[in-house]
Amino acid sequence: MKTLQDIFTKEYLLQLEKLSFSLRQRLSVNGYSGARKSHAKGSSLEFSDFREYIMGDDLRRVDWNSFGRFGKLYVKLFMEEKQGEINIFLDCSKSMEKEGKFLQAKAFAASLAYIGLCSGDRVNLFLWNDIIFFEKRGSTQKNSFFQLLSLLDQAECGGGSNLLRAGLFSGKLGRGISVVISDFFTEAPLEEALRIFQGKKQQVCMVQVLSNEEEQPTEGQAARLVDSETGETCDLELTASVLTAYNKALKEQRRALAEICFRSGAVFYFMNEKTPLFPILREILR
């Protein structure tokens, strides 16, 4: 069985580090630029700490004494510097249980977490179904990534899905980006959920993840469709006309999700379990 450890090779982590610079630029435009240069002027900047240099940092803030001692570049941090927050909400409801689909969703969540940590931002991870049943807040250092990766690897599916309740129970969120990863097979009111997140000063990105089977069922098979969250069943023969109707319904659902996001000022993306992660991450963070 493939695990997240198989995906997060050194080569893939290096690719993600390159994307961290794009994220820093995006957050800076909106005034919460992570652990980097404050927009404040004058003598009110009080020295606080050091962190490793990241490509794109202001070279004027490099501590050359540290470079002489350790042979590595460090930059100075100041008390007035702000930290952006990346809040990752991973749907762990029963409908996400398909192995490849859930692994893809977890890998996407972990990739976002690593990019955020490389950018010097605060990463908060929330696992939800009917409610938020687990959260890990306040990760800021790159060396905390493998703890997050282990937590995601151990995550299991169960229960229904209610993004509205997850938003309500997420508590206080620092101004930043909230990424919701789900199949969105739910009857919970998504627009109301988005209003909750935006009331917490979040830029919201909704990412739909489906299995190959859910996106492209195979013609000619007899199938019993089971709602994994309610237990309801429906027996179907997957004829060409049934698949045409299914594909139409799937496109309509995605169109509706995109419209909800557009009206709410959020963004919407979709992928399946085989979609390469790097291109869609680059698209989201560009």
DSSP code per residue over 105-148: HHHHHHHHHHHHHHTT-EEEEEEESSSEEEEEEEE-SGGGHHHH
- Answer yes or no: do 154 and 54 share one domain: no
Q: Long-range contacts made by residues 221-230, C-beta under 8 angstroms, separation at least 24?
A: 227/95, 228/94, 228/95, 228/97, 229/93, 229/94, 229/95, 229/159, 229/160, 229/161, 229/185, 230/160
Distance (Å) of CA 266 to CA 86, 96, 150, 174, 197:
15, 23, 30, 17, 10
Cα 68 from Cα 104, distance rounded (Å): 43
Confidence of residue 25 (pLDDT cuts 50, 70, 90): low
Decide: helix, strand or coil at residue 218: coil
- Answer yes or no: do 124 and 66 share one domain: no
**pLDDT over 60 (residue 5):** yes
Query: Does residue 25 belong to any structural domain of this protein?
Result: no
pLDDT (average), residues 94-110? 95
Decide: helix, strand or coil at residue 4: helix
- Answer yes or no: do 192 and 61 share one domain: no
Is residue 90 within 8 A of residue 125, CB to CB? The reply is yes
CATH number at 163 reads 3.40.50.410
pLDDT (average), residues 56-81? 72
- Answer yes or no: do 175 and 163 share one domain: yes
**pLDDT over 90 (residue 125):** yes
- Answer yes or no: do 49 and 181 share one domain: no
- Answer yes or no: do 178 and 256 share one domain: yes
pLDDT tens by residue, 235-282: 667 788 888 888 899 999 999 999 999 999 999 999 999 999 988 888
Q: What is the pLDDT of residue 286?
A: 66
Q: What is the pLDDT of residue 280?
A: 83
Q: What is the pLDDT of residue 132?
A: 96
- Answer yes or no: do 163 and 42 share one domain: no
Confidence of residue 71 (pLDDT cuts 50, 70, 90): confident
- Answer yes or no: do 50 and 124 share one domain: no
**Model's pTM, two decimal places?**
0.77
Query: Does residue 126 belong to any structural domain of this protein?
Result: yes
Using the 3D structure, point to which of 81, 108, 137 is the last residue of a domain: 81
User: What range does the domain containing 46 cover?
Assistant: 35-81
pLDDT (average), residues 170-193? 91
pLDDT tens by residue, 216-228: 887 666 655 555 4
**pLDDT over 90 (residue 149):** yes
Mean model confidence pLDDT for the chain: 82
Query: Does residue 217 belong to any structural domain of this protein?
Result: yes
The domain total for the chain is 2
Read off φ and ψ for residue 250, nearest 5 degrees. -65, -45
